[in-house]
Amino acid sequence: MLVVSSIDLKENLRVMKPSKFLASTIKEPTININNDYRYLKTGYYVSLHAEILGNMVIPSCEDIIDSSRTPILLLRAEKAKIPTLPFLVTDSVKKIIAELGLPVVLFAVNPFIHEGYKTAKNKSALYRAMKSLGMNYKFTVCAQPVKGELFSVKSFFGKCQINDEEVCGLAAKVYALFRIPVCKLHVQKVEGKAYLCALQPIDEQELSKSDLEVISREILLISQQGDHLSV
């Protein structure tokens, strides 16, 4: 098993930097560790290169693209019976208010925008959020109703450092479906139940020393099991 990582891991692991891997022809099952897997970023190209070489790789390019596009993420999650809330993909403020009401949370649909999310409690705030995320209304947004507590958690191989069984269970299901080793999940907690809202990259500076230790331990455990594609 080959680990390709842009992140400085803490255990004594066999790790290759992305630049070296991208210049190689190594044919071996590959785990791609990156804080940002978005399309055309280094994390994406590592998985693409592995697939071109014929390697089994986590995550796959298909899962990278699907998970980074919130509407597709939610459709696949819903099909897999992962809890989600209703959503709209639109550039119409009137449609959002008519079908979802207020408050709402908005995510960009344009894959080249990465600004987390914006919430709107009133009509004027909704216009401002759509103008920002839609690049002056040129692109649609993905809107979801805000029905409870909205927050973000870091997920490493589907495990979260949070004392919440609902959220931890949700993270495990999302990883089982999309196989994104390092990411941030945006979640709503409504009447005690956790709902997936979006999945986004983690800024490198957000990764603490303890986060790196968790990622390293998970990789070490996978390597000891011998079959990383079965976890």
Q: What is the DSSP string of 108-140?
A: E-STT-----EEESSHHHHHHHHHHHTTTTTS-
d(CA 194, CA 216) in angstroms, rounded, equals 27
132 lies in which domain range?
Answer: 88-145
Judge contact between 1 and 221, C-beta under 8 A: no
d(CA 17, CA 49) in angstroms, rounded, equals 13
pLDDT for the residue 229: 47
CATH number where 124 lies: 3.30.1490
Please check whether residues 114 and 15 belong to one and the same domain.
no
What is residue 84's three-state secondary structure?
strand
Give the confidence band of 231 by pLDDT, cuts at 50, 70, 90.
very low
**Which of residues 145, 169, 189 is at a domain's end?**
145
167-176 confidence digits (pLDDT tens): 999 999 999 9
Please check whether residues 80 and 152 belong to one and the same domain.
yes
Please check whether residues 13 and 60 belong to one and the same domain.
yes
122-172 confidence digits (pLDDT tens): 999 999 999 999 888 888 999 999 999 999 999 999 999 999 999 999 999
pLDDT for the residue 26: 95
pLDDT of 5 above 90: yes
pLDDT for the residue 137: 84
pLDDT for the residue 138: 85
